Chains A and B, each alone.
Chain A
Amino acid sequence: MSEHKPKIVALVCNWCTYTAADLAGTSRRDYPSEIRLVRLMCTGMIDSKYILKAFLEGADGVFIGGCHPGDCHYIDGNLKAVKRIEAIGIMLEQFGFEKERLKLEWIGASEGPEFQENMQEFAKKIGDMGKVQTADRMIL
């Protein structure tokens, strides 16, 4: 099974979750290596295209990490993201995709341990769900 490791992309904001990931690194909190981070300035700049692109290119899970509500560096970019991510979740489901493959979580800059936990949990869940069938991707 270990040969079929799922692929996970994490789209995270520069100010909170990317910093939390750095803190997890500095404090040597390990998590599964199949997770790849993409640094963006804010979750509010995450276009639906990016998520669909990730799934199309073979991602089995997409994690979105931003600042806690009220802590957004850009006032309310994270709140704009919530609505979008919800909508994409619904859309994915309509295409026969499990919406659990897309997850949004708030992880603050000082929450290194929380970042690690989230990564471990998400990787496990996506691992349990298995790889996305090629046919499913085709539909997308």
Chain B
Amino acid sequence: MEHNKPKIGVYICHCGMNISPKVNVEEVSSFTGEINNVTIARDYKFMCSNPGQELITEDIKNLGLNRVVVASCSPRMHELTFRKACENAGLNQFYFQMANIREHSSWVTKDSAQATKKAKELVFAAISRVAFHAPLDTREVDVKKSVVIIGGGIAGMQAALTSAEAGFDVHLVEREPSIGGHMSKFDKTFPTLDCAACISTPKTVNIGQHPNINLLSYSEVSAIEGFVGNYNVTVKRKARFISEEKCTGCGLCTEVCPVNIRSDFDEGLSNRKAAYRSFPQAVPLTFCIDKKDTAPCRTGCPAELNVQGYLQLVGMKKYREAIDLIMERVPLPGVLGRVCPHPCESKCRRIDVDSAVSIRDMKRFAADQVDFESLDIPEIIENDKKIAIIGSGPAGLTVAYDMRLKGYKVTIFEAMEKAGGMLRVGIPDYRLPQNVLDEEINHLLRHGIDIKYNSSFGKDFTTKDLLDEGYDSVFLGIGAHKTLKMRIQGENSKGVLDAVSFLRDVNTGSTKKPGEKVVIIGGGNVAIDAAGVSKRLGSIDVTILYRRTEKEMPAFKEEIDLVLDEGVNLTTLVSPVKIVEQNGVAVGIECIKNELGPADASGRRRPVPIEGSEYIIDCDAVIPAIGQEPDISWFEKEPELTLSKWNTIETNTKMQTAIPEVFAGGDGVTGPATVIEAIAAGHRASESMDKYLSGEILDEIEEPIDISKENNFLDIPSDYSKKLKSEMEHLSSDDRKVNFNEISMGLTESQSETEAERCLNCGGCCECMECVKACEVEAIDHAMEEEEIQIETGAVILSTGFKAFDPSPMTQYGYGIYPEVYTSLEFERLNNATGPTSGKVLMKNGEVPKKVAIVHCVGSRDDKHNKFCSRVCCMYSMKFAHLLKEKTGAEVWEFYIDIRSPGKLYEEFYNRVQEEGVHFIRGRVAEITDIPDNPEDRGKLTVIAENTLTRRTARIPVDMVILGVGLNPAEGSDDVGRMAGVSRDGDGWYNELHAKLAPVSTPINGIFLAGCCQGPKDIPDTVAQSMGAAGEAIALLSKGTVKTMAEISEIDPDICSGCKTCLTACSYSAITFNDSKNIAVVNEALCQGCGSCSVACPSSSASVKHFNDIQVMNEIEALL
């Protein structure tokens, strides 16, 4: 074919004065003419011009050239130009090579002789390389007739409208819930003072209604694959939890939403709800629910109670709704509101600010506001199955309530005369009044739950009896009511009472004091309760003995403090040795002192007795409270059930015992634990029971919880004011130690409001479901999930916009420290009719500012931050000055470095503002301080700057300061750039293909730029550029086809050994394996030509066309 002897034409370009005279082109030309295979060498003024290109085409035709080398500028500039010239003359375009003697020689080499030498070598290398070039084919492929536009600000909107008007499908992807970008936050635009809303809303509305535009709001692009004309864009549609089809935009969800979140749209100057829409004219009009990860209080609760939800409902005084929500997971709100050890509070993120929210007390407050007897009983859809519950403690009651709501007929069997289990008999009335328990248990029973009292498991009936009687399933919630023995001498003497029996007797009416001098042994809550009760019954001297230190006591700190306050003694680091008895009656207890040794299995330091330290405490009553275990007197009648070595009932992870119909949970399974854990166990058991009875298989495998994931909670604003948690009032120790009245008084209403406000709403939406109740069109779906869609598109336009510079690091300006220092975007909102002040320019104290300073170039033209000029700040600052004058009549100072007003009518606007009496001080502001120069300026901010025109220091006291912050690339634009393959400059703006001649194109064909993502610009420039980008995209789509890349990999089937190394090297999965031929095959549609396979290939059968070994090696050889 054409693989005959190379006949090379070489063309050296002068590039006007750019290459010549630094490079002696004539010398290069004559040197080149001598090289083997070179048929003709010429130099010319401008090779890229028409006559220049004609030189090439004519020579190909007349001299029969079969290779061409042009030595001129960068191939990134004109390679395509010259390739086309070759094609025009009938030469395959890949028989061309370029030597870059401008950017890489004449422009970067000082010495002319050196530059010429280098140019010669570069040309020689190109000649050596081109000799080995081969003709390559490109295929024409169809272009997908649609455009994806990333970013729905004014740039993206304009590009979308222009493209859509040309008849192409447009997919506009916007990550916020509504489009409009920064422009929708502005009130007026410079220099014409057009109302921003008036000129942008017609565009947003048009986008919402245009038949060719598919608006994907609240969505983000997660991948861009493919090539020009055939991109495949993956869009992640975030769950907005409100159906775009159904929502009518009525706003009822916002009205009932209790969660207040700082409004990003109002730059943090106001609050919005978790169910929100950025502004009333938003497109789309669909509301959105801002949901983060589940709040840590909720995940920290064993029963997974929706804490954030009820806190917010209490804040809205919706107590009944709060109780409904609590009862979904905790059937005894008032009880838990009193006795729960609140593990949730230790997870509360408010601790990072000051202290945890009073979560437990809020639950009690809600319960105290509600009359449980008046609560409605929901309609229950009955089924025909019967359940027996043994024990009416928290676990049993939870199972009973859950199962009843599911329609089962439920009967509780209770050994005692009253329901409540340990809640009834283990917790003293001063902590949990009986009437609270009664009220809540009665409410549960009102759901249609039967209870049989004085029915003792093992004595009166067995599980077999119940199953025989027709109960379909049984739940064992027997608790742990037996006190452990101390196993010391004298334990059976008179005067030694076990704590559980003692508390039970008192709770069921006994008023007999245990003795005058009482010693209680143990460090748990039972010991503390026994002490408090003894004190109230009239015992004079009550002492708690504990073997470790107070720090290790398992009892709750607040409970310990209360009894100590009541006069109970606490002696730590002692263990009982024996009971001293006289005639079978306890008269004292012999103890031994301990010291702390190494940690034991529980992680607490083990007490080690100090030999010879024994001593005797005189007393007439000893109450051991060293722990409980389940009473297992029933065990011999239940041969099929199994027990652990701690005498607890054994179950699988689904709470099922050895008898499949029998489930168990609570203290009887775990040993003594907390009420909330018993409730959690009850829920697990009822879920399993329900599944079992519905014939489902109980899957024992627990889903692993992904703890590696960083939680995404609502941000804690840095300027949050500290406010410690509200504490309940308590009866004074004198008032309480004589009776059994409840000690804690509960929160007040105003405290409850404070606590609801203190809640940080970590989860965003609190899932109180009030919006679901309020929405008349049933548009709300809290279970909505994020989805991914794929869009095939011919072109992509990036219009990701900007982010305002954050001035917080410039502490000299006091932003975030002084409340009256605003950023320009904050002032835009303050000045906007839809903003936090409805467009009135007011200070935080509600007054109109009389003196205002505007500081230019904040973060711009500053070596420490951004070196570039942000282009829009001078103009918007002067717009602010004008608006301030107009709205408030305030005296305004502009602190500027240079006024940049190059634009149509801009300079005129500058003149107008000057004429309006605005002061212009040329000088960068050094400091803003609240220390006044004069006493009468107290409360004002003093702006200090050197007036570089008068060379005097200006110290201007003002009421308000506006910082003219510059522009930075939008957050996430780095990721989008990476996906699109578009590089960014040092400041983060996307690189355009050519600063002058291709400002909206990128080096990646089919990807275009619009607006500020390419660099700061004002609205007119943004709109013009967006139309330009749309124009480029339209041109591409209209053409209909593109040529595929020819420089891709090829694998020589004759050499390939089938080792599959290339398959793993390829990052595009573009290589497949042909099993029948045992060779690797390149998928030409996917291959990008990166060359990873060619390097990886051990047999050198893979290579990249146009970059194969022989071509590259010859180039290297020729250079040296």
Interface residues of A (CB under 8 A from B): 7, 9, 14-16, 18-19, 21-22, 24-26, 28-31, 33, 36-42, 44-50, 53-54, 57-59, 67, 70-71, 73-77, 80, 84, 108-111, 116
Contacts and interface: CB of A to CB of B under 8 A. Distances in A.
A28 B1088 CA distance: 33
Nearest to B116: A33
B1090 interface: yes
Interface stretch (B332-340, B530-538, B818-826, B981-989): B981-989
A45 B103 contact: no
A129 to B, nearest CB: 17
A31 B105 CA distance: 9
What are the 10 A-B residue pairs with the smallest beta carbon separation, nearest first? A45-B1091, A25-B103, A74-B1090, A110-B985, A33-B114, A57-B1120, A25-B107, A109-B983, A75-B1067, A36-B1119
Nearest to A70: B978
Given A25-B104, A77-B1090, A38 B1095 contact: no
A16 B1120 contact: no
B745 interface: no
Given A36-B125, A40-B1112, A42-B1090, A47 B107 contact: no
Contacts of B102: 25
Given A58-B1120, A59-B1120, A16 B983 contact: yes
Nearest to A60: B1120
A60 B1112 CA distance: 18
B1113 A45 contact: no
A37 to B, nearest CB: 6
A15 B1068 CA distance: 18
Given A44-B1091, A73-B981, A74-B1090, A26 B1120 contact: no
Given A38-B1116, A44-B1091, A30 B110 contact: yes
Interface string B80-124: 000000000000000000001011110111110011011001100
Contacts of B109: 30, 33
A21 B103 contact: yes
Contacts of A28: 107-108
Given A19-B983, A41-B1090, 7 more contacts: A22-B74, A22-B77, A25-B74, A41-B1047, A42-B1091, A45-B1104, A67-B983
A109 B991 contact: yes
B111 A33 contact: yes
A33 B117 contact: yes
Nearest to B983: A109
B1091 A21 contact: no
B983 A71 contact: yes
B1120 A38 contact: no
Given A19-B76, A41-B1091, A110 B983 contact: yes
B1107 interface: yes
Contacts of B75: 39
Contacts of B986: 108, 110-111
Nearest to A79: B1067
A47 to B, nearest CB: 5
B616 interface: no
Which of B115, B122, B1003, B1120 has the largest number of chain A CB atoms within 10 A? B1120
Contacts of B105: 33
Given A7-B1120, A19-B76, A74 B1067 contact: yes
A58 to B, nearest CB: 5
Contacts of A9: 1116, 1119-1120
A13 to B, nearest CB: 10
Contacts of B117: 33
B1109 A49 contact: yes
Interface string B338-378: 00000000000000000000000000000000000000000
Contacts of A84: 1095
A33 B981 contact: no
Contacts of A24: 103, 108
B991 A33 contact: no
B1091 A25 contact: no
A41 B1092 contact: no
Contact of A44 (B110, B981, B1095): B1095
A45 B1088 CA distance: 12
B1115 interface: yes
A65 to B, nearest CB: 13
B499 to A, nearest CB: 64
Nearest to B117: A33
Contact of B1113 (A7, A49, A67, A77): A49
B684 to A, nearest CB: 45
A57 B1120 CA distance: 6
B1094 interface: yes
A74 B983 contact: no
Contact of B1092 (A16, A19, A58, A74): A74
Contacts of B978: 70-71
A74 B1117 contact: no
A63 to B, nearest CB: 13
B17 to A, nearest CB: 13
Nearest to B129: A38
B1065 interface: yes
A75 to B, nearest CB: 4
Contact of A47 (B100, B108, B115, B1094): B1094
A130 to B, nearest CB: 17
A95 B1047 CA distance: 35
Contacts of B1120: 7, 9, 36, 54, 57-59
B590 to A, nearest CB: 72
B1092 A44 contact: yes
B1090 A45 contact: yes
Contacts of B111: 33
Interface string B1086-1120: 00111110110000000010010100110111011
